């Protein structure tokens, strides 16, 4: 099984993705140590095993429930929400796109999309673990009903985490184009808790060779700094590289994940 990641047509080496993940893991570990008193001895600048660091960080988050993580980050997500509203207003309704493309062997586009929605919209202990382990900047990924997902994460190069809701299947207001060459998609509008639309996602998939081609797009307010758009490409690379890898692991191919 092979997973290859491209940004602006250039292949991103796995080492670059892991370097970004390691940097963000160290940052989030500091946050958890300060807020939760978690020792996290496996996570340090001289730690050699990134997989062990990844599991230690996810385990620290899993030791507390989602409500405690919400409370812990409430001040930051509130300030982030105010900042996002301001950037949204300055953008006058226009958007920028953060795009990452991934090619995966050994799975059809339709099958992967089913597994993805199963992971995103089916709350379970295993899905929570897979969601949190995919990217160090994930804090809460929780579905509310069949089509709405709550997300608390640090997007791109933001200085603090955001809290928003993805309304899958709602495309009104999305500005990224639907490509007819990609018959499968996970698309939806992203809103703050008060209903303010701040962007959206349009993740499109198609069969390609003996696998699939995914074009992953996140819409942000146009006034967002280019650095943050570029950093979110690496966020997408990290989380989807891990998700696609984990969802093709035979150990994860059960109803809990793929429901």
* pLDDT above 70 as % of the chain: 96
Residue 53 within a domain: no
| 116 contacts 186 by C-beta, under 8 angstroms | yes
The verdict on residue 37 lying in a domain is no
Determine the average pLDDT of the residues in 241-258.
Answer: 76
pLDDT for the residue numbered 35? 86
Number of domains in the chain: 1
pLDDT tens-digit series, residues 154-188? 998 899 999 999 999 999 999 999 999 999 999 99
Q: Structure pTM?
A: 0.94
Give the CB-side neighbour count of residue 39, counting CA atoms within 13 A: 2
Radius of gyration, CA atoms only, the chain: 17
The answer to whether residue 145 sits within a structural domain is yes
What local confidence, expressed as pLDDT, does residue 42 receive? 77
What's the burial of 46, exposed, middle or buried (CB within 10 Å: 0-12/13-18/19+)? exposed
- Classify residue 187: in a domain, yes or no: yes
Residue 43 — very low, low, confident or very high, per pLDDT cuts 50/70/90?
confident
Instruction: Give the Å distances, CA to CA, from 251 to 176, 217, 243, 258.
Output: 35, 29, 13, 12
Asked, for residue 159, whether it belongs to a domain, the answer is yes
Q: Tell me which residue range forms the domain holding 143.
A: 3-16+65-258
Domain containing 147 — which CATH number? 3.30.530.20
- Angular region, 199: left φ>0, alpha ψ -120 to 50, beta rest: left
Examine residue 59 and state whether it is found in any structural domain, yes or no: no
pLDDT confidence of residue 254: 56
């Amino acid at each position: 099984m092979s997973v290859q990641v491209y940004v602006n047509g250039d292949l991103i080496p796995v080492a670059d993705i892991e370097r970004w993940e390691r940097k963000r893991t160290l940052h989030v570990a500091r946050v958890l140590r300060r807020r939760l008193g978690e020792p996290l001895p496996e996570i340090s600048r001289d730690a050699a095993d990134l997989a062990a660091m990844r599991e230690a960080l996810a385990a620290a988050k899993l030791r507390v429930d989602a409500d405690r993580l919400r409370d812990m980050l409430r001040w930051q997500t509130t300030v982030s929400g105010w900042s996002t509203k301001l950037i949204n207003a300055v953008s006058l309704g226009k958007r920028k796109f953060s795009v990452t493309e991934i090619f995966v062997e050994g799975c059809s586009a339709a099958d992967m999309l089913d597994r993805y929605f199963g992971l995103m919209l089916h709350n379970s202990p295993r899905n929570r673990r897979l969601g949190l382990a995919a990217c160090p900047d994930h804090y809460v990924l929780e579905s509310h009903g069949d089509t709405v997902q709550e997300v608390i994460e640090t997007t791109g190069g933001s200085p603090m985490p955001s809290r928003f809701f993805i309304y899958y299947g709602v495309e009104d207001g999305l500005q990224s184009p639907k490509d007819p060459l990609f018959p499968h998609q996970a698309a939806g509008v992203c809103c703050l808790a008060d209903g303010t639309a701040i962007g959206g996602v349009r993740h499109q998939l198609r069969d390609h060779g003996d696998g699939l081609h995914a074009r992953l797009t996140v819409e942000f307010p146009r006034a967002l700094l280019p650095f943050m758009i570029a950093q979110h490409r690496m966020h997408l690379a990290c989380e989807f590289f891990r998700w696609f890898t984990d969802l093709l692991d035979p150990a994860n191919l059960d109803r809990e994940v793929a429901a």
